[in-house]
């Protein structure tokens, strides 16, 4: 069977289960247009996407919590975007895409090979979180391009705040944190281009409603938006807010540079004036965060001196 047909069949099942209530096997089989005997195998395929589907004798099947699928018509955004059901990594897809279509965004419900910084895996269970990438071509290299990660962090924090999330802060250079745990991350990549073009792919992963089972094995403390939002977070509204903030904010950055975002960054900077631990190769030392410079490099006061540290060279821990 062709891939789109398999996907469409699975999505019918997902939609039938999306309310989080119990559904009998008979009903689900009828909705998906399959036999009762084939249902268990189809449910198993949903689990392959990282969906937790509970099964109980006499009750049928359910998801432990309601799920909101991304829908194009619910995402009001000022730039070109696409939604994929499943892909390897939205960043990888956009790195391979046609720059003539930039700015262009890509969202996915599920990533088979979601990538984090430093070659780490980015856990991407189906429709539990937000997986979004944006490809942007700058006609000329912006003078403070190294501060772009910080700007994207600020724009994400603004979108989250607008959507009702409380207490979101930023850990340099671009981790989203809440209550001392990681809420989201940003991975900015580019491929060397002939002719000196500056094209970046900005990947954003935000935990929306990830369960402990879906996060099993993650070594870093993490948190989902559900824990810091008064109402259940709406993924379509969040996607629209992120795309709007990014489209406006990056255009703003292109013309005004990091300076236009510096005060907002300082207000969100979780290391500012606080003890930090710097990991630099084999070296590890403690200091106090003293903000960032005009290029977005981190300033740490340690051993009586101010040091300017660049992302990629060090790893920062909040003490
Ligand atoms: C980090 O390590 O903190 C960065 C995580 C970035 C994850 C996002 S999810 C959407 C995009 N696609 C990927 O494969 N990675 C980024």
Q: What is the pLDDT, as a whole number, of residue 34?
A: 87
Nearest ligand 1 atom to the CA of 111 is: 14
Distance of CA 154 to the CA centre of its chain: 14
Tell me the torsion sign for CA atoms 107, 112, 116, 119.
negative
Write the DSSP symbol of residue 200.
E
Same domain for 210 and 294?
A: no
Same domain for 249 and 161: yes
- Domain assignment of residue 67, yes or no: no
The CA distance from 206 to 156, in Å, is 9
- The C-alpha atoms of residue 90 and residue 105 are separated, in whole angstroms, by 9
Alpha carbon distance 252, 79 (integer Å): 15
Boundary-marking domain end, from 43, 62, 81: 62
Torsion, Cα of 68, 247, 124, 150 (10° steps): -130
The residue annotated as part of the active site, out of 69, 181, 182, 277, is: 182
47 and 116 both lie in a single domain: no
Q: Are residue 99 and residue 236 in the same domain, yes or no? A: yes
**H-run or E-run covering 45:** helix 36-48
| Residue 141 pLDDT | 83
Give 10-residue mean pLDDT values along the chain (319 residues).
73 96 96 89 93 96 96 97 98 97 98 95 97 95 92 98 97 97 96 74 98 94 97 96 98 96 98 96 96 97 95 91
Q: What is the pLDDT at residue 2?
A: 53
Residue 140 is predicted with a pLDDT of 84
Give the pLDDT confidence score for residue 259 in this predicted structure: 97
Instruction: Give distance in angstroms: CA of 172 to centre of ligand 1.
Output: 16
129 by DSSP, 3-state: which? coil
In the reported structure, the alpha carbon of residue 206 is separated from the centroid of ligand 1 by a whole-number distance in angstroms of: 9
Q: How many CB atoms lie within 10 A of CB 225?
A: 26
**Co-location of 236 and 206 in the same domain:** yes
Domain of 146: which CATH number? 3.30.930.10
Domain holding 304, by residue range, is 271-318
Any idea what the CATH number is for the domain that residue 47 is in? 1.10.10.10
Pairing of strands 104-111, 80-87: parallel
111 Cβ below 6 A of ligand 1: yes
Task: Tell me whether residue 181 is one of the annotated catalytic residues.
Answer: no
Are both 24 and 128 inside the same structural domain? Answer: no
Q: At 150, is the secondary structure helix, strand, or coil?
A: helix
| Claim to verify: residue 113 and residue 22 sit in the same structural domain | no
- pTM metric for this prediction: 0.95
**Same domain? 125 vs 233:** yes
- 198 and 282 housed in the same domain: no
Please report whether residue 171 resides in a domain: yes
Q: Are residues 166 and 130 in the same domain?
A: yes
CATH number at 283 reads: 2.30.30.100
Same domain assignment for residues 284 and 296? yes
Question: Count of domains in the chain?
Answer: 3
Does residue 100 share a domain with residue 56? no
Q: How far apart are CA 170 and CA 183, in angstroms?
A: 10
């Amino acid at each position: 069977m062709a891939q789109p047909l398999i996907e469409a069949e699975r999505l019918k099942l997902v939609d039938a289960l999306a309310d989080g209530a119990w559904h009998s096997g008979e009903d689900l089989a009828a909705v998906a247009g399959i036999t009762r005997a084939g249902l268990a195998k189809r449910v198993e395929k949903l689990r392959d996407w990282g969906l937790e589907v509970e099964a109980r004798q006499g009750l049928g099947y359910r998801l432990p919590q309601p799920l909101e699928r991304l829908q194009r018509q619910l995402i009001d955004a000022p730039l070109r975007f696409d939604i994929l059901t499943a892909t390897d990594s939205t960043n990888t897809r956009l790195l391979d895409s046609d720059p003539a279509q930039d700015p262009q965004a890509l969202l996915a419900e599920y990533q088979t090979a979601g990538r984090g910084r430093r070659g780490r895996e980015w856990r991407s269970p189906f429709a539990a979180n937000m997986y979004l990438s944006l490809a942007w071509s700058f006609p000329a290299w912006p003078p403070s391009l190294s501060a772009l990660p910080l700007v994207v962090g600020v724009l994400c924090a603004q979108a989250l705040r607008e959507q009702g999330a409380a207490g979101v802060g930023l850990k340099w250079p671009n981790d989203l944190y809440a209550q001392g745990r990681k809420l989201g991350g940003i991975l900015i990549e580019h491929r060397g281009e002939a002719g000196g073009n500056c094209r970046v792919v900005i990947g954003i992963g935000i935990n929306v409603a990830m369960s402990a089972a879906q996060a099993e094995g993650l070594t870093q403390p993490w948190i989902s938006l559900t824990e810091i939002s008064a109402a259940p977070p709406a993924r379509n509204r969040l996607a629209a807010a992120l795309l709007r903030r990014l489209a406006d904010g990056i255009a703003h950055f292109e013309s005004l540079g990091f300076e236009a975002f510096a005060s907002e960054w300082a207000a969100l900077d979780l290391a500012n004036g606080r003890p930090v631990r710097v990991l630099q190769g084999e070296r590890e030392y403690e200091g106090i965060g003293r903000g960032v410079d005009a290029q977005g490099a981190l300033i740490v006061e340690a051993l009586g001196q101010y040091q300017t540290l660049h992302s990629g060279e060090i790893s920062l821990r909040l003490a």
